[in-house]
Amino acid sequence: MTKSIIAVLTLFIFIPHSHSKKNKRSVVNSLKSKLINKFQVSVSEIGETEKWQTATIQVVHISKDLKTLDSIFKKILLSSEQILIGKAMLSNYELEFIKHKIG
């Protein structure tokens, strides 16, 4: 039986200077691409996409080692805050680890 752990980080973002979907999309797409390139994770915008000043992003990765996932996601959280400086702010986040058995 193979065991794996799925980590799901939900980022709640406030974009105070956004006045259109185009402004929001620029911030969201920049964050997504930088996290994907740097950490090799899956990233998607979820939830309400019609609001211009808020966004909810989920970052997902899978590993066999909880310690590794925890370390990676601490770095992802810190990088997200740094990427958003001057453009948006992280208003909240949730991190969940899901144990999964195969076989």
Q: What is the spatial order of strands in the sheet that 89-102 belongs to?
A: 42-46, 54-63, 2-14, 89-102
Tell me the pLDDT of the chain (103 aa) as tens digits.
678 999 999 999 999 999 999 999 999 999 999 999 999 999 999 987 788 999 999 999 999 999 999 999 999 999 999 999 999 999 999 999 999 887 6
Residue 21 lies in a domain: yes
Cα gap 42→102, rounded to integer Å: 21
Residue 45 lies in a domain: yes
Residue 46 lies in a domain: yes
CATH number at 68 reads 3.30.70.1120
- CA-nearest of 96, 99, 98 to 9 is 96
Residue 80 lies in a domain: yes
Residue 29 lies in a domain: yes
**What's the number of domains the chain is made of?**
1
